[in-house]
Structure 1
């Protein structure tokens, strides 16, 4: 956190006529946590949400520009992703032409198949294979567009190029290379527009919304998602599940940004639209590339449950998560009928459940949930800050000796006591 954010909290608190004790009570935090935040020391984003609620302002209002803190070296990541960087962001000469190696790609169908196979590798958390495949796919898709002989061939090539860029943006966002991800996603959206592919552009906007959420750009995400959702709203007679799924995902982005930005009315309205979209899909809908991450009644429900721990991390919110995680379409028998959400969405939901257990002091229950997620998605969980926070909370609050399972999990996540 920055010194400027701490100063903003202090200024807003004094403007509201509140003492630190008043703010702590209104936010449901300890006085020491409020003091820590005002001193500019590092606190969780969820803590900033709570402080914003206590002050009656949006979370975004707490943020301000300040001198960046030194970045811990990520040279290893930079080196491992250099081929993607070179393919995605080639140097441009004075003539405006990108200086890229010449490639003679194969057929368009084969290229599209390769892109979808790479997305399957991403979904299977084989991030190394994805990183190795993307540079060639990026260059080949760019060359295919450049070599197109007529408008129809160019548009078909642009659709495959769009798909390549969106897979690239999805992977780079997951591994937290945000500037590269932004470049891939925005170029993908523009390429889809050039191809006349409004659905492809909308899927790209959903991905860009995820990136903006990762960067705490809540207002930008909300405005982007609402505008796109209004443009993509299905007609009453439109029963195309892909169109409904895109519309529902866009409203999910709007809801997620509003709840994080302490805008409860906008969040409630957006969740109503999500529920409306989910009501039109009795089963989980199509996945990428028809939609970004899939959409349906289960997806809508797990994202709604997620809101509770964003609003607060008290015992009441934790109990609500555990209660709702076993209700309605989230019951095991119900999911057999409706289908399940994606592995990523389900894994994120199970981390919410694990966190709820830990908040209630049920460390062993929380560890059992974490262990199940690790068994199903061992590589994915390493990239989840929430998993590391849960493990850190266990290490900090558990009074008994750590079990072997807890020590193994801490090592897997790179968390130390």
Structure 2
């Protein structure tokens, strides 16, 4: 029987293994009644509950809802990309394959980040592999006085590799690549880049359900570059604002609503100081981006009505890169589903799925939303299920 042919309750039982229901309840902080109800497929499972279950079961939400198997089934192209990326990351870290003629790869690295932010994970992975190789070659060829500068692009290429690997579910490669990125950023003595790498590591921890590690690392990413009261540098302000806002996301996933609200208020304060969305390394931070994160936090903490009000407070989301806009639409769809607007929810979800199918395949929320609202309109549910590769119970 295929993994996605099991019910959600059956998948929880299989993932639980020898752990008793009582032990699972204690570990998640949920009641025995909630665990039994989930395993008996009685009613819908809320996102906060799924997050707690994923954390204790050491799994992704997408595995619990059947969007992917415990060992992710990938398309052939994804496997090829991942294999090449893995070989390149490990070889260059060992100094292998860098005895070539250096080439200019700046445009390719920028294109790789653009592809990643547009949700084109396969293209991003292919460009990341070539850029890691080219950046490692440039570092090996650099004179002593230029080596520190050359470490920055290599750190960025390794970080892009880590993000691609994380999206493809290759957690070991993601950890290795982000570790190499951290090493290069540290040797390059670039505190802003180090903060970005730390935030990236926190995101990997988050997807790996290591919430305590994610929270600790996210905190280190923003405290290391906290601006002074008189600091007016927009790049530093935007970088700090982005990282403190992501730390709010992590705190919300931990169930620490008070900490999430405090961190989010800092993010809004920085956005107000900027007055506009500022682009830093291809990622925007400002009023629109912090509001988008606030929508996600409101959804994950069970405040769907607030999420929809926040989403309606911004008229123009165009400063967000495409993947961020997609994620916002998923959060809106989940909030619509939670408030019983099932047809509207499926309209929102189907729009994202049809416009950006490759990006959606690597996300957790579409399966969660489709499971909860799938009964509303059969034709739309079938279309969504086909795109995300899930069987909707």
Name the TM-score class by shorter chain. 0.7 to 0.9
Deviation, structure 1 residue 193: 1.5
Contact 2:162–2:174 (CA under 8 A) maintained in structure 1:
yes
**Alignment match of 2:304 (pick from 318, 324, 327):** 318
Structure 1: runs of 5 or more not aligned: 25-29, 38-42, 52-58
Deviation, structure 1 residue 48: 5.0
Q: What secondary structure, in the 3-state scheme, does the structure 2 residue paired with 1:90 have? A: helix
Contact 2:22–2:32 (CA under 8 A) maintained in structure 1:
no
Q: What secondary structure, in the 3-state scheme, does the structure 1 residue paired with 2:229 have? A: coil
* Partner in structure 2 of residue 371 of structure 1: 350
| CA deviation string 1:177-236 (max 9, x = no partner) | 222122222211220121121111111112222111111222112112222322201122
Q: What secondary structure, in the 3-state scheme, does the structure 2 residue paired with 1:355 have? A: helix
* Partner in structure 2 of residue 409 of structure 1: 384
| CA deviation string 1:344-374 (max 9, x = no partner) | 2221111111122223332221122123323
| CA deviation string 1:366-411 (max 9, x = no partner) | 122123323543321222221122122233x33xx623x4432221
Distance 1:410 1:158, change over 3 A: same
Structure 2 CA distance, aligned partners of 1:231 and 1:308? 27
* Partner in structure 2 of residue 214 of structure 1: 207
Distance 1:346 1:189, change over 3 A: same
Structure 1 CA distance, aligned partners of 2:47 and 2:194? 30
Structure 2 CA distance, aligned partners of 1:175 and 1:19? 33
1:348 aligns with 2:327: yes
* Partner in structure 2 of residue 391 of structure 1: 370
Q: What secondary structure, in the 3-state scheme, does the structure 1 residue paired with 2:274 have? A: coil
* Partner in structure 1 of residue 127 of structure 2: 133
Structure 2 CA distance, aligned partners of 1:176 and 1:72? 7
Deviation, structure 1 residue 147: 1.5
Deviation, structure 1 residue 266: 2.0
* Partner in structure 2 of residue 46 of structure 1: 48
Structure 1 CA distance, aligned partners of 2:239 and 2:335? 30
**Alignment match of 1:183 (pick from 176, 198, 203):** 176
* Mapping for residues 231-270 of structure 1, pairs under 5 Å: 231-270=224-263
* Partner in structure 2 of residue 306 of structure 1: 296
Contact 1:296–1:341 (CA under 8 A) maintained in structure 2:
no
1:122 aligns with 2:116: yes
Q: What secondary structure, in the 3-state scheme, does the structure 1 residue paired with 2:245 have? A: helix
Contact 2:277–2:286 (CA under 8 A) maintained in structure 1:
yes
Contact 2:252–2:260 (CA under 8 A) maintained in structure 1:
yes
1:103 aligns with 2:128: no
Structure 2 CA distance, aligned partners of 1:177 and 1:322? 34
* Partner in structure 1 of residue 216 of structure 2: 223
Contact 1:162–1:188 (CA under 8 A) maintained in structure 2:
yes
Of 125-134 and 187-196, deviating more is 125-134
Deviation, structure 1 residue 73: 5.2
Q: What secondary structure, in the 3-state scheme, does the structure 2 residue paired with 1:325 have? A: helix
Structure 2 CA distance, aligned partners of 1:91 and 1:121? 23
* Partner in structure 2 of residue 71 of structure 1: 71
Deviation, structure 1 residue 274: 1.5
Deviation, structure 1 residue 64: 7.6
Contact 1:241–1:286 (CA under 8 A) maintained in structure 2:
no
Distance 1:175 1:34, change over 3 A: closer
Q: What secondary structure, in the 3-state scheme, does the structure 1 residue paired with 2:161 have? A: helix
Distance 1:350 1:74, change over 3 A: closer
Deviation, structure 1 residue 75: 8.5
Deviation, structure 1 residue 63: 6.1
**Alignment match of 2:38 (pick from 33, 37, 46):** 33
Q: What secondary structure, in the 3-state scheme, does the structure 2 residue paired with 1:280 have? A: helix
Contact 2:225–2:236 (CA under 8 A) maintained in structure 1:
yes
Structure 2 CA distance, aligned partners of 1:20 and 1:5? 10
Q: What secondary structure, in the 3-state scheme, does the structure 1 residue paired with 2:278 have? A: coil
Q: What secondary structure, in the 3-state scheme, does the structure 1 residue paired with 2:284 have? A: coil
Structure 2 CA distance, aligned partners of 1:129 and 1:226? 31
* Partner in structure 2 of residue 381 of structure 1: 360
* Partner in structure 2 of residue 54 of structure 1: none
Higher RCO structure (Cα 8 Å, ≥6 apart): 2
Contact 1:169–1:182 (CA under 8 A) maintained in structure 2:
yes
Contact 2:81–2:126 (CA under 8 A) maintained in structure 1:
no
Structure 2 CA distance, aligned partners of 1:264 and 1:363? 27
* Partner in structure 2 of residue 157 of structure 1: 150
1:2 aligns with 2:16: yes
